[in-house]
Amino acid sequence: MNSEITTWSNQKAWRKNGQQSNVLIVDSSATTRILVANMFIDCGIDADTAGDSTEAVLKYRIFNFDMVIVEVNMEALAGIHIAKAIRNAPTSSENPLLIYALTDNERQESIKKMKDAMMDGFLRKPITIEAIEEIAKHHCLSSEY
């Protein structure tokens, strides 16, 4: 893995019947949401966005995403709480769920909170296309990888 990503999971995201994998980007910044979503789309992975916790949990319940990338320092409801809410949300999906934090905070206290929230790892800000490509390769989220 490159230095922009820390992962605690070797779990693979998968889809039945050749369906396209998808990711939900949760961030209070519209600019960040669009930027990160477009990077995933450029890697051949469907992406959607949410600007707050309510929208994120609702979209997850409806669309059964394979991966969620969530900003840890969101104002309304911290990304840690969003991750826990999504992990506990009922879903009809048989697919494993991967949750990654998007953060610039690598203090041990923050890392412990991410692990306690059952996150699979984190991506460091500023995020790059190389980091998105690496995460796609690591978790086999696209047929392109």
Q: Report the 10 Å Cβ neighbour count for 125.
A: 16
What is d(CA 31, CA 22) in angstroms, rounded to the nearest whole number?
20
* This prediction's pTM: 0.81
What is d(CA 113, CA 28) in angstroms, rounded to the nearest whole number?
20
Residue 85 has pLDDT above 90, yes or no: no
What is d(CA 18, CA 7) in angstroms, rounded to the nearest whole number?
26
Taking a C-beta distance cutoff of 8 angstroms, is the pair 48, 94 a contact?
A: no
Average pLDDT over residues 116-142: 81
Residue predicted with more confidence, 140 or 80: 80
For the 5-9+24-139 domain, the top CATH level (class) is alpha beta
List pLDDT tens digits, range 29-81: 999 999 999 999 988 888 999 998 889 888 988 888 889 999 887 654 477 77
List pLDDT tens digits, range 1-13: 445 767 666 666 5
